[in-house]
Amino acid sequence: MKQSILKNIPIIPDLSENIKKIKEISGESSDVLINEVEISGLKACLFCCEGLVSTATITELILHPLMKIDLPDKSAEALLSHINGKMLLSIDRPTAYNYEDFFRLLNSGFALLAADGADYVLAFGVQGYESRGINEPSGENNLTGSHEGFVEVIRTNMSLIRRKIKSPVLVQKLFVLGDKSQTDLCICYMSDRVPKKLIKRIMDSLNKTELESILSTGYIQPFIESGKHRIFSSVGMTERPDVLCSKLIEGRVAILVDGNPYALIIPKLVSDNFQTVDDYNFKPYFGTFIRWLKYGAFFLSVLLPAFYVAVAMHHPELLNSTLLVLLSQSEENAPFSIVAETIGVLIMYEIIKEAGLRLPKAVGGAVSIVAGIIIGDSAVQSGLISTPLLTVAALSVVSGFVIPELTQSITILRIVFVICGGIWGLYGISLLGAAVLFNMCATEDYGFPYTAPFAPFIKKAMGDTAVRSGFKKMQNNDFTVEDLHEQN
Which letter does DSSP use for residue 127 in this model? Answer: B
Going by C-alpha positions, the residue among 301, 303, 302, 331 that lies closest to residue 316 is: 331
- If asked whether residues 253 and 118 sit together in one domain, one would say no
- If asked whether residues 74 and 167 sit together in one domain, one would say no
Indicate the pLDDT class of residue 1, thresholds 50, 70 and 90. low
Q: How far apart are CA 234 and CA 443, in angstroms?
A: 7
- If asked whether residues 303 and 263 sit together in one domain, one would say no
Q: Work out the percent of the chain whose per-residue pLDDT is above 70.
A: 95
Residue 193 domain flag: yes
Residue 334 domain flag: yes
Residue 90 domain flag: yes
Report in angstroms the alpha-carbon separations of 239 from 141, 199, 223, 354: 10, 22, 20, 21
pLDDT at 49: 93
Q: In the chain, how many domains are there? A: 3
Bridge partners for 374 per DSSP: none
Given 271, 306, 327, the domain boundary residue is 271
Per-residue pLDDT tens digits for 52-109: 988 888 888 888 889 889 898 889 999 999 998 888 777 888 999 999 999 999 999 9
Which letter does DSSP use for residue 118 in this model? Answer: -
Give mean pLDDT, residues 28-47. 92
pLDDT at 356: 81
- If asked whether residues 414 and 348 sit together in one domain, one would say yes
- If asked whether residues 79 and 188 sit together in one domain, one would say no
Q: Is the pLDDT of residue 206 over 60?
A: yes
Going by C-alpha positions, the residue among 14, 174, 207, 181 that lies closest to residue 94 is: 174
Residue 456 domain flag: no
Residue 148 domain flag: no
Residue 180 domain flag: yes
Higher pLDDT, 110 or 323: 110
- If asked whether residues 265 and 171 sit together in one domain, one would say yes
Per-residue pLDDT tens digits for 370-424: 777 777 777 777 777 888 888 899 999 999 999 999 999 999 999 999 999 999 9
Indicate the pLDDT class of residue 488, thresholds 50, 70 and 90. very low
End-to-end CA, the chain: 48
- If asked whether residues 243 and 322 sit together in one domain, one would say no
For residue 214, what are the domain limits?
A: 154-271
- What predicted TM-score, i.e. pTM, was given to this entire model? 0.87
Q: How far apart are CA 220 and CA 267, in angstroms?
A: 15
Residue 137 domain flag: no
Q: What angle do CA 55, 23, 44 make, to 5 degrees?
A: 55
- If asked whether residues 384 and 429 sit together in one domain, one would say yes
Give mean pLDDT, residues 7-23. 92
Q: Is the pLDDT of residue 300 over 80?
A: yes
Indicate the pLDDT class of residue 3, thresholds 50, 70 and 90. low
- If asked whether residues 264 and 360 sit together in one domain, one would say no
Per-residue pLDDT tens digits for 303-332: 999 999 999 889 888 887 777 777 777 767
- If asked whether residues 267 and 297 sit together in one domain, one would say no
Q: Is the pLDDT of residue 157 over 50?
A: yes
Q: Is the pLDDT of residue 364 over 70?
A: no
